[in-house]
Structure 1
């Protein structure tokens, strides 16, 4: 059974159908890209999966649980994590404290925050920072970090709840090409190691074609194509509405080589 099964999902705003009968699956250990032109319905779809919007119709089944209509916090408790296009961290708190806050919330310790919490879950928080390469910055305030490092902290925060499904909204937005490659390579490794399912939106087609296992393409609220990088690259309808000729997108191996060469320079 698929980790996430979306069936006939729709959302209308007045007379406008933002998402229209969309269906797809996400498997454990898989990176799935949700792409399409502006106004395609990607954000609306994401917000329904996360619980920020209630679907007009359709079903969202995660690990046997119906998500449609649940609040974001309830969805989070079931094991659905999310990162945002604009990284969401507490700038005045240290990197370590940001991750500790999520661990404290996960264990429902918030009612006791009048007690000293500096040592709560510090070892687990540090282990998460080790995974994303940020342990060396643990005691720095998030507000002084480079943006690429903030994105790594946000990933550690998302992983703190031990999600089985991770929703990543424009994970590389605002990052330099080398930073984008590093973050997505890290995400790919963690997905494989922990068998997390990931659904991500992304405007950088270099990132999408380099790292996505499969792609879902929306246009005007409808799903117009789904498949591998090669299938999407050569899909005539996708080329017409989104990619143009598609010839500018390099195969995964070539992009990975380019990224590693850039890191060595």
Structure 2
């Protein structure tokens, strides 16, 4: 059995951000493998422990963050670690390109029975695009799952239960299991383990955040000079949608 685990950092961790007055600081030193991905790895390891096979870890994170999360995955005893460089997984304009490149890699290097990842609200659902490109089943927000592929998914307005068939792509929550803690020896060996790298050349336009530079005309409504000032203010507020 071949399982691929797509791993990433935990942007939801409150230690990643600090605020001082109106300034928000972003601390990459506090970014580590996400909790949901640890649960995904644990489930993958349990599957191959019972059925035989291998677990390969992949990430689309950049630079040192890619190495960090893959070293953590290796410490949990995945078999191989590979990072895709040259892309930004958090840029929605690159999501489909990244998914296609990963799907092409999978097709060339032998299909996986299961592709699994931890749920994340910080990036586009790249796993759904991967499932589409590979023609695999896709099950999202899995809250419970066993080694016989019985699952329960949490949806916005309820739950879905069933049994999925291989090959499938899953995204899982941290409620599916309790990950084991790597030993000191596993941590030591992971730091010296090989990490493979695949570079993606993308011509996609990159997203940009542009501040609104529009300068609004300032108007003073003075009741001493204009008896209709209140009505004029109400009309302006209605025009801007502030009042209805």
TM-score (norm 1): 0.23
Q: Which structure shows the higher helix fraction?
A: 1
State the structure with more CA Rg.
Answer: 2
Greater RCO, 1 or 2 (C-alpha within 8 Å, sep 6+):
1
TM-score (norm 2): 0.25
